[in-house]
Structure 1
Amino acid sequence: MPWRESLGRLPGVATAREYQRGWLRTDVTAGLVLTALLIPAGMGYAEAAGLPAYAGLYATIVPLLAYAVVGPSKILVLGPDSSLAPLIAAAVLPLAAVGDPESALALAGVLAILVGATLIIAGFLRLGFVTELLSKPIRLGYLNAIALIVVVGQLPKLLGFSVDASGLLGEIAAIGTSILAGDSTPVAAAVGIGSFAVIMAFRVWLPRVPGVLVAVVGSIALSAAIGLDEEIGMVGALPKGLPLPQFGGVDWQDTLALIGPAAGIALIAFADTGVLSRTFAARRGEEVNGSTEMKAIGAANVASGLFGGFPISASGSRTPVAEQSGAHTQLAGAVGAVAVLVFVLVAPGITAYLPDATLAAVVIVAASALIDVRGMVSMWHMSRVETGLAIAAFLGVALAGVLQGILVAIGLSFVAVVARAWQPYRTELVETSGTGFHDVARHPEGHRIPGLVLVRFDAPLFFANGGIFDDYVRSVVARAQTPVAWVVIAAEPITGLDTTAVDELVDLDRYLEGRGIRLAFAEMKGPIKDRLVQFGVGDRFDATHFYPTLDAAVDDFHRRAHPREGA
């Protein structure tokens, strides 16, 4: 039946059909470990967006369950995010009734639905190709920057104080000032650093035991036993209740006012999610279709908005926790969502004894897994240009923000591509004994065929390099040691052609024609020949100008130059 076929194409259903029994333990463990982070993170980001803290739980539970069914990435963790929180606040708080958090939440729900609808439409329009612009250098720089941002943001909690600063540099300066001023709380610092040490110790000596879970449970037990909740900051008890639709008081005028902010939030949410999804898929040897991912994030946002949540995206801190805890599939996120729901309904008071410092240690350990100094060093040895792009992405994301940093890096990537195409490799080809025609710079033992010049140009021909191509061919002809009768272009690397380049080809042909030299092409691709016809120069460059191979062109040159020998 058609509906069964459609259901079978859902990524979550496809994963379930291929599920291996050996994955179950690690998926469940990873989901339970995630729970310790999902609860406080969701509540904290909800408050940062100017919304009730419990909304962060709804914006965690519902999107994770939805993504487990429709999400193509097997370990991506969705939920409230720090990069979206200020944008949500700026969009809904001016429209909400003063002092009415429920009004703000209703508006945030509508905003999430608009964000989701935008992403779903873009996904069906196959706009997910934008993830193809996120090259390895961009992903490498992005992840290192996200790791630094997360670690710096958690240091005050780890040491038991808070800072009021914006931007990475501002936070670093404020943290340094606070530490020098003695603002750290010794007990909180001991708990935070101790939790960090426990997690790292289990990772080194007992990697099969989830050190994160040990640290969280241990710190809760210790806090309850000796009354630490009276001395240091705690996450706090959970609210009770199920996620329900909350749209009271929102009219069409409010909805129209939210369309613009929704488009901006959708762009940032997908830019952030696209990088994470593509990066973690690459680390696991998997592939993720950008348009499918876009639709999945859209569906998760719609679900969040319908059931008391707000706009969400992938999490740069919670996803590595899932990875480090051994998650294999979307089941880990679903287990985390169900566990959060169980806590909300059954044991909302447990997190009242979870120290903020322990949570900070969990986040720092998870974020540190994203740091890839070895990758940066390796890239430096392979390509200085790509290393520069990675550094640009790192600085852009760290100093300007996720979207701005990615856009800067993509822009620089385009500049690098244009630069390479503008000054491509070009060479004269010479004949070598028994092996065909090769680069003269690599085969100085090769010999030129008297009267014939062979040239290769390793790039598409377009406005930026058409003149360079023309000048190079003329220079090779000018320095030829014998009179030139033919010029043959080895055209296989020429994969593109624009009108400016066609004009340069015509000028070159006229220049050579005026000197009695014939211009021909070998191995030119059919679509490029079609463009010559399309651009109106098919008569000048008719079928006699083209040869299927270099050998065929050289053989025809010999036949025409020495007709009796050819006969």
Structure 2
Amino acid sequence: MNTDWVPGVRVAATYERKWLPRDVLAGIVLTTLLVPQGMAYAELAGLPAITGLYTSVLCLLAYAVFGPSRILVLGPDSSLGPMIAAVILPIVVSGGDPAKAVALASMLALMVGAMMTVAAVAKLGFVADLLSRPTQLGYVNGLALTILIGQLPKLFGFSVDGEGLLAEAAGFVRGVADGKTVPAALAIGVGGLIVILVLRRWLPKVPGILIAVVGAIVVTVWFGLTERGVDVVGPLPQGFPPFTIPTVEWSELGLLAAGALGITLVSLTDTISTASTFAGRTGQEVRGNQEMIGIGTANLAAGLFQGFPVSTSGSRTAVAESAGARSQLTGVVGAAAITLLLVFAPGLLKNLPQPMLAAVVIAASLSLADAAGMRRLWRQRRTEFVLALAAFLGVALLGVLPGIAVAVGLSVLNVFRRAWWPYRTELGRPDEVAGYHDVRVYPDAERIPGLVMFRFDAPLIFANARTFRDEVRHLARAEPKPAWILVAAEPITDVDTTAADMLEDLGAELDDLGVRLVFAELKSPVLEKLGRYKMHESLDPARFHPTIESAVAAYRTRGIPA
């Protein structure tokens, strides 16, 4: 049996008994994180808290079968929560039916799963590269700020109506000014947040979220905080949801599909990034297409049992790794523990305060933010800092879904910008090193009279053909006028038909000016393309030289003007 598409079968066949104690212990430790985070991220997505537990169980089981990583942990994610909410809440509208929201979120998960699986079969993992590192950085920082502002009212014990970061921030400020803050809610929320952050910083191996959640429940019951205005989760439904195919209106599919596309891109990028990080630690090889199969089936499974879209989690994976996880049995143990909780003790979390869930989400948003990365970009490369800042503002001011579109658009435009206006320079021979080099780096480099050596650091394509032509024209009209313009063409990895036509016209134009256009170090595949374009008929082979040195020698022999 070929187990390439079902890695879980291969892992089960090669499982070593000595791993069992560590996997079971890691699974129990992981459960203490899965339960509160799953519930908190479900509410972040605008869904009932219980759906976070349903989602956690199904995605863990599905990935254990189809996921290639031995320890990667999937589940509800803080970065996807606002995206899910941005899709389903405008359809459900304020005060809508929770069942409708669940159906929409489940259909969204099915769409994400289908897109991810199709992309895997078509080997489209490269689409993860549509989000460059600077735009990812700006996007996640904007997302972190959006999550933080959105959860502050809940932390203070009240709610606000407002769409977008600015409206929510203004609503929060008005609520505080109008005295809507519930002191008991604020105390328990801030107290829980401090516990999480302090333990994360100083005792990272201690389950800070579990301690904060248990403490919040105990304090709520002991001091009767529900009577002081503190909202709690309430009793959870007992048991597990049945297999359910969600039903939505045809008119809703367009918005769902657009949202699913954005979620798929973010989830894929996050998965490949996280998988690469942990694979490097364990010596595993990242299998991008199989990762997409794993995340796709996890979303399909969640969508068929009243769940919502999921992604990988770096923090939960790190917890599993530090707890000694050796295989995906860790996730299976976590799923089993959550199922037992739902079947036998659904009332265990009924007194969990809502401000505590807000504290869990805020802690996640703070770990998501990377201000240091923004500062590093400012120091290292201002243009990429501007890209990151634009992506940040796109999310913060336009919203999560438009923000991801802005981030992708900026990444693509940055690629085109580099193709349109690549680096170009003249070359000379420095005294201190051999060969010909950039005169900007070596301003005292020797230049040969009458010979201009020009380097263009990009493929020659339709987008930059005019830039190349204008630069060469400028060199040809300089005083004193050169006899030869030698293109150091080693960085030119391609020449399309538009650029080829431009080169033919440019060669003839320079000939009329008495300037000879020649090339050195063109790669063999590029020369073959020029042959197919029949360029040798208009630009004779003597213009093409294997090395810069041979071109210079030819120039010295017959190119120096009388």
Mark yes or no: TM-score above 0.5. yes
1:126 and 2:129 equivalent?
no
Residue 537 (structure 1) aligned to one of 516, 529, 535: 535
**Partners of 2:250 and 2:223 in 1: CA distance:** 53
Distance 1:140-1:247 versus aligned 2 partners, 3 A rule: closer
Distance 1:34-1:102 versus aligned 2 partners, 3 A rule: closer
SS in 1 for 2:350: helix
CA shift for structure 1 position 506? 1.3
- Which piece of structure 1 moves more, 373-382 or 418-427? 418-427
Q: Please show how residues 403-482 of structure 1 align to structure 2 within 5 Å.
A: 403-433=401-431, 435-479=434-478, 481=480
**Partners of 1:130 and 1:229 in 2: CA distance:** 48
Residue equivalent to 1:270: 264
Residue equivalent to 2:171: 174
**Partners of 1:478 and 1:528 in 2: CA distance:** 28
CA shift for structure 1 position 438? 1.8
Distance 1:435-1:346 versus aligned 2 partners, 3 A rule: same
Contact residue 112 and residue 264 of structure 2 kept, 8 A: no
Residue equivalent to 1:549: 547
Residue equivalent to 2:60: 64
TM-score, normalised relative to structure 2: 0.84
1:489 and 2:481 equivalent?
no
Q: Please show how residues 167-206 of structure 1 align to structure 2 within 5 Å.
A: 167-206=164-203
Residue equivalent to 1:378: 376
1:35 and 2:31 equivalent?
no
**Partners of 2:475 and 2:271 in 1: CA distance:** 49
Contact residue 112 and residue 262 of structure 1 kept, 8 A: no
Contact residue 155 and residue 190 of structure 2 kept, 8 A: yes
SS in 2 for 1:487: strand
**Partners of 2:19 and 2:294 in 1: CA distance:** 20
Residue 365 (structure 2) aligned to one of 367, 385, 405: 367
CA offset digits 1:439-460 (Å, max 9, x no partner): 2333343323344332212222
The number of aligned residues is: 543
Contact residue 159 and residue 357 of structure 1 kept, 8 A: yes
Distance 1:124-1:202 versus aligned 2 partners, 3 A rule: same
Residue equivalent to 2:241: 243
**Partners of 1:63 and 1:295 in 2: CA distance:** 12
- Which piece of structure 1 moves more, 297-306 or 180-189? 297-306
CA shift for structure 1 position 338? 2.8
Distance 1:27-1:529 versus aligned 2 partners, 3 A rule: farther
- Identity percentage over the alignment? 42
CA shift for structure 1 position 141? 0.9
Distance 1:14-1:291 versus aligned 2 partners, 3 A rule: farther
CA shift for structure 1 position 533? 2.9
Distance 1:473-1:336 versus aligned 2 partners, 3 A rule: same
**Partners of 1:15 and 1:92 in 2: CA distance:** 48
Residue equivalent to 1:391: 389
Distance 1:15-1:140 versus aligned 2 partners, 3 A rule: farther
Contact residue 431 and residue 438 of structure 1 kept, 8 A: yes
Contact residue 426 and residue 454 of structure 2 kept, 8 A: yes
**Partners of 1:148 and 1:104 in 2: CA distance:** 24
CA shift for structure 1 position 488? 2.1
Q: Which ranges of structure 2 fall in alignment gaps of 5 or more residues?
A: none
Contact residue 35 and residue 337 of structure 1 kept, 8 A: no
Distance 1:358-1:258 versus aligned 2 partners, 3 A rule: closer
SS in 2 for 1:521: strand
- Aligned amino acid, residue 57 of structure 2: I
Residue equivalent to 2:145: 148
Q: Please show how residues 6-17 of structure 1 align to structure 2 within 5 Å.
A: 6-8=5-7
Distance 1:215-1:489 versus aligned 2 partners, 3 A rule: same
Contact residue 432 and residue 446 of structure 1 kept, 8 A: yes
Q: Which ranges of structure 1 fall in alignment gaps of 5 or more residues?
A: 94-98, 563-567
SS in 2 for 1:84: helix
Q: Please show how residues 313-352 of structure 1 align to structure 2 within 5 Å.
A: 313-314=310-311, 319=313, 321-322=315-316, 325=319, 327=321, 333-352=331-350
CA offset digits 1:112-163 (Å, max 9, x no partner): 4454323322332233322101111111112212211222222122222222
**Partners of 2:138 and 2:415 in 1: CA distance:** 18
Across the aligned residues of Structure 1 and Structure 2, the Cα RMSD in angstroms comes to 3.6
Distance 1:89-1:416 versus aligned 2 partners, 3 A rule: closer
CA shift for structure 1 position 216? 1.2
- Aligned amino acid, residue 213 of structure 2: V
Distance 1:27-1:230 versus aligned 2 partners, 3 A rule: same
Residue equivalent to 1:565: none
CA shift for structure 1 position 357? 1.7
CA offset digits 1:319-368 (Å, max 9, x no partner): 36526746567666544433321210111111112111222222212221
